[in-house]
Structure 1
Amino acid sequence: MEIGYFLSCEEYGPDELLEQAAAAERAGFTGLWVSDHYHPWNDEQGHSPFVWGMIGALSRVCSLPVTTAVTCPTVRVHPAVIAQAAATAGVLLDGRFRLGVGSGEALNEHILGDPWPSVDRRLEMLEEAVAVIRELWSGEVVSWEGKHYRVDHARIYDLPETRPEIYVSGFGPKAIDVAAKIGDGFVNTAPEAEAVRRFKDASGGKPAQAGAKVAYASSAEEGWEHAHRLWPNAGLPGELAQVLPTPEHVEQASELVTMESTRGSVVAGPDPERHLAQIAAYREAGYDALYIANMGPGYREMIDFYGEQILPAAG
């Protein structure tokens, strides 16, 4: 299983993200995930740089493959625009770009005043959006009259020699089935073997990737404090993360997440065994790659720690 680094646009500003990317490459991480948010989950996280500007900058500071984890191409941004942005990213990264897509969260997608669709409708929109993107990547003039999208005589002129793969996020059986149907790969965040099996069985064995977080610090307790302060939303159950519309709503719901819950769910501190155990859980679930983000200010130390102790041992 390959191990990459997950750039959190919600928690870090542009300069910090570029610093992390360059350091991750030096440390031996095999690739980058980068999140796509208009808002952070809460004000404490405090950032949300534009992902397509970040990808352009990333292409100039490191040579690692880059995947959006994930872009929503259905509400806030029309799929024809995503197709152009991803094509340019593919050119800048010389074929090392992968487009990760998902059905999105109201937190980011509500900003233009559009209604937030039901789960079934969002998945239907995602399927059509991916079809529009692939059609535009043909390099031909495209006109499209679909159920959800219209494209009028559009053509993308700058295309990479190899079109980007499209990986699709899915967190329930219906979404996983859509990912298997339309995706070149699968994206998730939980070490759930059943989800991976369902995707691989339905897709003919296409690759599956996951993201996870750690809170590196001089002690586990300090790491848990950072995680609880910055990412209590990670403990929200069910579909709340998809339907809450503002950081303020997420903050209110996150008040229900206890420090005890954070201690029980977050890998924190400098003990290599805890970090290696988390990696092993994702490997055993069947993932082909795992991308790990840091929570808190100790990202430099975390990247060095992984380069020196975790990546060699996880081999």
Structure 2
Amino acid sequence: MALFGYTMMTEQAGPRDLVAHVVRAEEAGFDFSVTSDHYFPWLDEQGHAPYAWSVLGAAAQATSRIPLMTFVTCPTMRYHPAVVAQKAATMQLLAGGRFRLGLGSGENLNEHVVGGGWPAADVRQDMLAEAVEIIRALFGGGYVNHHGEHFDVESARLWDLPDTVPPIGVAVSGRQSCELAGRLADLMIAVEPDADLVAAFDESGGTGKPRMGQLPVSHDTDRDAAVRRAHEQFRWFGGGWKVNSELPDTTAFASAGAYVREEDVADSIPCGDDPEVFVEAVRPYVEAGFTEIALVQVGGASQLPFLDWAQKTLLPALREL
């Protein structure tokens, strides 16, 4: 049976609200939660971008059961991999073993803030692979020295290590990233229900490992309001990862979505309050071989009504899949 998760989307709510939302998600019965880790929202209308790791620490103390995860952290530019390893080890201790570290090659939108330009995709993948190796070495205990193509580590050690280190997930969007994830990760992360990604992950060593997907949804008893909200805040979504990872700021995302219509968004994001519409949107992930699907409710102010509905109506319907 697939597991169903809740997304703390840092682009659309402030830190205190995000923690309150995940507490309610735990009460509602979601199987896990994930948290975006961005410096910018995609669009000005979303309006938020708190520091995800502070939110996660607070969430670890405010909850007791629901697993927590970054979806995803880029450990190559804004953060050095040695620092990411320390963050993740600390989070695993705070969460009592409920934390997983989701990693990816990043987006220009968030990583440009530290300067240094935006590398080509192949370089970003090489950087990610080297970063994962550094993080794994530090998780292993003892001192780590590393002098690689992209990173240097001088006599680093994690002094507070959990008994069980966090599993590492890697985000994929094509064969190259699937090969990296199959070789280095404990689980695969994707944002589209593509069976070819699952197959490439399996062929590269991922057989038997979890595969996590993510799906935006827009619940509202007024379907027209749900569609309008989805268009206002998620019209960037249809550009695809390979385009979105290159755009530098909210103005670029607004320009890229300037000709996206409300009906275009409604075709890709389930809207309204008919649970069957939401189930049918999730079904392709299950049929493609995904074992976990994280839902993103669009709109910060709509989270609590969505979570009430999810507890009573949506989660029971999804579990019939």
Check if 1:274 corresponds to 2:277: yes
Q: Secondary structure at the match of 2:305?
A: helix
Which digits, 9 at most, give the CA deviation of each residue in 1:196-249, with x for residues without a partner? 122123223311001111111122211110011011110224622111111111
Paired amino acid for 1:310: L
Check if 1:185 corresponds to 2:209: no
Which digits, 9 at most, give the CA deviation of each residue in 1:262-287, with x for residues without a partner? 12111011111101112222111111
Q: Secondary structure at the match of 2:245?
A: helix
Partner Cα separation in structure 2 for residue 244 and residue 312 of structure 1: 38
Partner Cα separation in structure 2 for residue 312 and residue 250 of structure 1: 36
Shift of 1:17: 0.7
8 Å contact from structure 1 (residues 200, 207) kept in 2:
no
Corresponding residue for residue 15 of structure 1: 16
Of 78, 81, 103, 1:79 maps to 81
Corresponding residue for residue 296 of structure 2: 293
Partner Cα separation in structure 1 for residue 224 and residue 28 of structure 2: 25
Paired amino acid for 2:212: Q
Shift of 1:50: 0.6
8 Å contact from structure 1 (residues 236, 257) kept in 2:
no
Number of residue pairs matched by the alignment? 315
Check if 1:36 corresponds to 2:32: no
Check if 1:309 corresponds to 2:310: no
Alpha-carbon distance change, 158 to 151 in structure 1, aligned in 2, over 3 angstroms: same
Check if 1:262 corresponds to 2:265: yes
Partner Cα separation in structure 2 for residue 169 and residue 239 of structure 1: 12
Partner Cα separation in structure 2 for residue 223 and residue 155 of structure 1: 48
Corresponding residue for residue 283 of structure 1: 286
Paired amino acid for 2:302: G
Q: Secondary structure at the match of 1:44?
A: coil
Shift of 1:158: 0.6
Partner Cα separation in structure 2 for residue 196 and residue 150 of structure 1: 33
- Equivalent positions of 1:103-114 (< 5 A) are 103-114=105-116
Of 64, 67, 79, 1:65 maps to 67
Shift of 1:153: 1.0
Partner Cα separation in structure 2 for residue 237 and residue 181 of structure 1: 24
**Which runs of structure 1 show a deviation greater than 6 angstroms over 4 or more consecutive aligned residues?**
none
Check if 1:47 corresponds to 2:51: no
Paired amino acid for 2:52: V
231-240 or 241-250: which moved more? 231-240
Alpha-carbon distance change, 237 to 86 in structure 1, aligned in 2, over 3 angstroms: closer
Which digits, 9 at most, give the CA deviation of each residue in 1:244-266, with x for residues without a partner? 11111111111132222112111
Shift of 1:55: 0.9
Partner Cα separation in structure 2 for residue 70 and residue 307 of structure 1: 26
Corresponding residue for residue 6 of structure 1: 7
Shift of 1:82: 0.4
Partner Cα separation in structure 2 for residue 57 and residue 14 of structure 1: 9
Which digits, 9 at most, give the CA deviation of each residue in 1:111-154, with x for residues without a partner? 01111111110000000000001111122111111110001111
Shift of 1:3: 0.5
- Equivalent positions of 1:166-185 (< 5 A) are 166-185=168-187
Partner Cα separation in structure 2 for residue 151 and residue 238 of structure 1: 30
Q: Secondary structure at the match of 2:236?
A: helix
RMSD: 1.1
Aligned sequence identity (%): 38
8 Å contact from structure 2 (residues 187, 209) kept in 1:
yes
Alpha-carbon distance change, 6 to 47 in structure 1, aligned in 2, over 3 angstroms: same
- What is the TM-score of this pair, normalised by structure 2? 0.96
8 Å contact from structure 2 (residues 3, 292) kept in 1:
yes
Check if 1:136 corresponds to 2:138: yes
Of 135, 148, 162, 1:160 maps to 162
Partner Cα separation in structure 1 for residue 108 and residue 180 of structure 2: 20
